[in-house]
Amino acid sequence: MTGNANTIGRPRAFDVDKALQKALEVFWEKGYEGTSLPDLTEAMGINKPSLYAAFGNKEQLFLKAIELYENRPCGFFQPALLQPTAYQMAEHLLFGAAISSSDPSNPKGCLMVQGALSCSDSANSVKQMLIEKRRSGELQLQQRLEKAQAEGDLAADADCAALACFLVVQLHGMSIQAASGATAERLQQVAVIALKAFAKAALQQTATADSAN
């Protein structure tokens, strides 16, 4: 899939995956609308026609960048859902976000949040698409919590939707703080506080063994 080994016609002079990686970094840093075509071509080391031939247009390139983002930098999300208990999921989620969004080797914050939080009318489809991705993530979280509830891993009277929203608030709030310059240490302190709240709100009946203070 990656190599363009045995194809007819003149071969590409650049690596599509590496170019996409560069595009991701720029979009992450400047957002969808804040990123210009020259920003992209310069970072990717190609010119505009090559970009359009390889990726379609700016919006489709952004979609592919988002896809890459979900698999790589934001890759802590899906594994967190697979943790054996709701508490461990929350733990992975919160510390994953704290570390990921302040990772010095990447732009600060979360692309799904700052990619197109507010924008002109012409970028509304991108904004809407990010909203839906965020809501989808929240829904997955909620469903994981409901599963935990069915398994007796979460208090029967806990409000899974509210708890999922609470967790997402932490993730997005921490990403804003990271974008404002917060350190990984500070965000981890916040994660510790939030985790106590989660434990208290989620485990009030079952009184699970580990965790909580």
Partner DNA sequence: AAAGATACCTACCGAACGGTACATAAATAT
Partner DNA sequence: ATATTTATGTACCGTTCGGTAGGTATCTTT
- Binding interface with a copy of itself (CB under 8 A): 29-31, 33-36, 39, 109, 113-115, 117-121, 123, 131, 134-135, 159, 161-163, 165-166, 168-174, 176-177, 179-182, 186-187, 189-190, 193-194, 196-198, 200-201, 204, 213
* Least distance (Å) between residue 90 CB and a copy of itself: 12
Q: Is the dihedral of CA 42, 44, 46, 47 positive or negative?
A: negative
Residue (of 133, 129, 117, 134) closest to 31 by Cα position? 117
Task: Round to whole Å and give the CA distance between 171 and 191.
Answer: 9
Position among 17, 36, 82, 152 found at the interface with DNA (CB under 7 A): 36
Q: Which does 182 bind (CB under 5 to 8 A by kind): a copy of itself, DNA, none?
A: a copy of itself
Which residues in 51-70 contact DNA (CB under 7 A)? 52-54, 57-59
Determine contact, residues 32/115, Cβ cutoff 8 Å. yes
**What whole-number distance in Å separates Cα of residue 101 and Cα of residue 200?**
25
For residue 124, state whether it binds DNA (rule: CB under 7 A).
no
Query: CA-CA distance, 111 to 70, in Å (whole number)?
Result: 9
Closest approach of a copy of itself to the CB of residue 130, in Å? 9
